[in-house]
Amino acid sequence: MPAITYELIKQDPATGARAGIIHTPHGSFPTPIFMPVGTQASVKGVSPEELHDMGAGIILSNTYHLFLRPGSDLVREAGGLHKFMNWDGAILTDSGGFQVFSLGDLRKITEEGVTFRSHIDGSKKFLSPEVSMKVQMDLGSDIVMAFDECIPYPADYDYAKASTARTTRWAQRCKEVMTSPHQGLFGIVQGGMYKDLRTRSVNELVEMDFPGYAVGGLSVGEPKELMYEMLDHTVEQLPKDKPRYLMGVGTPDCLVEGVMHGIDMFDCVFPTRVARNGTAMTWNGRLVMKNAEFTSDFRPLEEGCDCYACRNFSRAYIRHLVRANEIFGLRLLSLHNLRFLQRFMHEMRQSIIEERFGEFRRNFLDNYNYGAK
Ligand SMILES: Nc1cc(CSc2ncc[nH]2)c2nc(N)[nH]c(=O)c2c1
Ligand SMILES: [Zn+2]
């Protein structure tokens, strides 16, 4: 029995949207789903108990960060990441390649792997398919991501072609050493913004028969229309009986479009990052809490939200905390934003099950104010 299985509940008849359940050794969760990001074994400012209370079924963590600090040997000694951070839901770990590009001082990529300097102390480090798999097996995450190169945007065709071919060879190397029966290894589709390379990447990875597939190399600065075009082309070629994960996405409008194209899993640092910048996410767009308009606004952040912040505090109070640089203000906004995304995905899933996804999508996009209010 594979560690990770996908159960289709309802396919939208008019679009790629679908509702399902993903089963893992640390519990099952409904899809489409948004996964809170806990980069350094903590969802910033939020406790595991609060994550459970808001309905989070799976969180993300990072090979790159935990490899550098505290090191995967310590986490293994602690009994794995679930024990170390006292989270008994599912965990997905990213493989480290992406963070090397965005954080480490990149030295060089070879067939063997990536040599770089740690962003923490500048020491020389090496990550490869084998090292990434060893770290993720030490961490004991339920879903392990293959070690890949996220092709930057823009990239010329020859670079994208060579890099994608190497990512496929790296995926094979990951599969050979990822031997834990309690963990599922997901392949990551690359190919840049070239449809023929995307197709080749899909075909080569599907050939290896992974329990799930991620669409990588998107949300890397390309125009949204280009992201949707690549998604449209890529997702329809992926197996219907396996989960599809769109990495690093995203804002509510991108979540709706991703679901429409058949994506089941999403992650983004957005909700906690904008919270730390004093911004609340609502159905009609973002609220910049420092704005004077909230000075005497004694309503909750969002009418009808059942989160701890909205049940107990007003916009005026949260504005005060943010302006006074009180940590509690940022915590309340993180709790609200994460709960908002859980509610958002739940409503979207219900609309698919009740065959009104098209109406949900039109309604949401008509009311969503893309800019910050
Ligand atoms: N946009 C984007 C984002 C991420 C980070 S997902 C993440 N890791 C930790 C938190 N979130 C990616 N990760 C990998 N491995 N490959 C990609 O192509 C890629 C693309
Ligand atoms: Zn709320």
In percent, the amount of the chain with pLDDT more than 90 equals: 94
Ligand 2 centroid to residue 281 C-alpha, Å = 9
Question: Which tens digits make up the pLDDT trace of 189-216?
Answer: 999 999 999 999 999 999 999 999 999 9
**108 vs 348: which has the higher pLDDT:** 348
113 Cβ neighbours under 8 A, 6+ residues apart: 126, 127, 128, 129, 130, 131, 147
Average pLDDT over residues 66-70: 98
Is any ligand 1 atom within 6 A of the Cβ of residue 191? no
Is any ligand 1 atom within 6 A of the Cβ of residue 149? no
Is the confidence at residue 334, as pLDDT, over 90?
A: yes
pLDDT bracket for residue 284 (50, 70, 90): confident
Is any ligand 1 atom within 6 A of the Cβ of residue 98? yes
Average pLDDT over residues 9-38: 98
pLDDT bracket for residue 372 (50, 70, 90): low
Is the confidence at residue 370, as pLDDT, over 70?
A: no
pLDDT bracket for residue 114 (50, 70, 90): very high
- Report which ligand 1 atom has the smallest distance to the Cα of 94: 8
Ligand 1 centroid to residue 304 C-alpha, Å = 33
Q: What residues act catalytically?
A: 94, 267
* Pocket-testing residue among 91, 92, 98, 251, ligand 1, by greatest number of atoms within 8 A of Cβ: 98
Q: Is the peptide bond before 32 cis (omega within 30 degrees of 0)?
A: yes
pLDDT bracket for residue 100 (50, 70, 90): confident
Is the confidence at residue 22, as pLDDT, over 70?
A: yes
The pLDDT, as a whole number, for residue 102 is: 81
In percent, the amount of the chain with pLDDT more than 70 equals: 98
